[in-house]
Each structure stands twice: as structure tokens, then as C-alpha cells.
Chains A and B, each alone.
Chain A
Amino acid sequence: GNSVTQMEGPVTLSEEAFLTINCTYTATGYPSLFWYVQYPGEGLQLLLKATKADDKGSNKGFEATYRKETTSFHLEKGSVQVSDSAVYFCALRKAAGNKLTFGGGTRVLVKP
């Protein structure tokens, strides 16, 4: 079946540091890939997505590239802010499907 594996947190960084959160997936066919973010006390929000191999999703300074050959969708940001402190979830949806499969989530804490 489909599955998503992401690095365990928490990840603690200083402001302006570089952030990488690794995400790999197992799926048949060509799934769509997503990063969702959950800020404290809130529900999940879509951060970015990519729907085919080599696509790059980007939003709010975050980027992730759909790598079919390594089945990965790593999230990166060049200079984090305190406001980026949140839990980040990698997810996939199989082609023509409507269900999301999530990874375990990675908590990120950015200190001033």
C-alpha cells in the first residue's frame, strides 16, 4: 500500500538557519505529493504541492521537488523565522484518488 516516511523531530533551529525535512514515499503509479503545515492550535493548511516528476512546489519561501527516481519530496527553506515554528506533514494522494496518506509529522521549533 501507499506510505509516507518523514524524519522524526523535533527539529530545533536558530532564526535564519537553513531547514530541510526529509520525506520519502512508497506508492504505485504517479501520486501527487504535498506538504501541509499545522501551526499551534490550528488545523492543517496546504503549504505546497507537486503533481508530477521533477515538479517543484514553492510557497512562503519553502520549496520541495518531486523526485521520482529517489521517491522523495524533501522540504527546504533557506532562512527560517520564528513564525515557521509548526508541525510539517508530508502527504501523498494516488493518481485519480481522493484520499491523502500522511507521514508522521515533523515538529520544527525556531528560536530567536
Chain B
Amino acid sequence: DVKVTQSSRYLVKRTGEKVFLECVQDMDHENMFWYRQDPGLGLRLIYFSYDVKMKEKGDIPEGYSVSREKKERFSLILESASTNQTSMYLCASSLGWGDTEAFFGQGTRLTVV
């Protein structure tokens, strides 16, 4: 089975801190994604990566950056955390272009105080 693992289930950080959310997949997938999930808004794409060191902005990239130095790992970085970044963050991966299934991690619930 494909496994997408997010390093933390719950995080509490202070305003202004630099926050790293880590995601690892074990199936050699090309694509990796970071979404945030908020009630009533569904999942919104922050960034995605289709290859090592390659990244593209999603719908809501402001306040975030990403890093993909190895194929299996995709990190989301909050340069200076703010309270409006309190949310559930979901990582996903998929094999390639076209009709391939996306697999999701369990999510990281981040609270910024």
C-alpha cells in the first residue's frame, strides 16, 4: 500500500515562528502536494511539486514556501507563522500526469497562538 506520512499530527506554534511541516511518501511518486483544509472551504492547494527541486504555486501560496530536495520528501515552510495559518494541512502524492490516484497523509493540525 502507498503510504504518505506527515511528521506530526498536532502542532502548536507561536506567532512569528518559522514552522516546518514534513511529508514523506514511499511509492516513488512524481507529484506531491500540500493542501490546507478549512471548514466550508474544502481543500485548497498551497503548492505542488512534479519533480525534485521543481515546484509550482497553487491557489493560496502567500505566506508559504516549499522544498523538495529528494523525491520522497516534500516540506511546507511557514516563514513567519500567523494566526490565520491555523488550519489542517494535508499532504498528498500521485504517480504522474493524467488519470492517477492521489494518496493523502493523515494531516497535521497546526495551531498558531
Taking beta carbons and an 8 Å cutoff, which residues of A are in contact with B?
Answer: 4, 8, 32, 36, 41-46, 49, 51, 89, 91, 96-105
Contacts and interface: CB of A to CB of B under 8 A. Distances in A.
Interface in B62-113: 90, 92, 94, 96-102, 104-107
Nearest to B104: A43
B98 A96 contact: yes
A48 to B, nearest CB: 11
A89 B90 CA distance: 14
Interface residues of B, number: 29
Nearest to B9: A41
A43 B94 contact: no
B104 A44 contact: yes
Interface of B: 4, 31, 33, 35, 37, 39-45, 48, 50, 58, 90, 92, 94, 96-102, 104-107
6 contacts: A42-B106, A98-B31, A98-B48, A98-B96, A104-B41, A105-B40
B96 to A, nearest CB: 7
A46 B102 contact: yes
A8 B50 contact: no
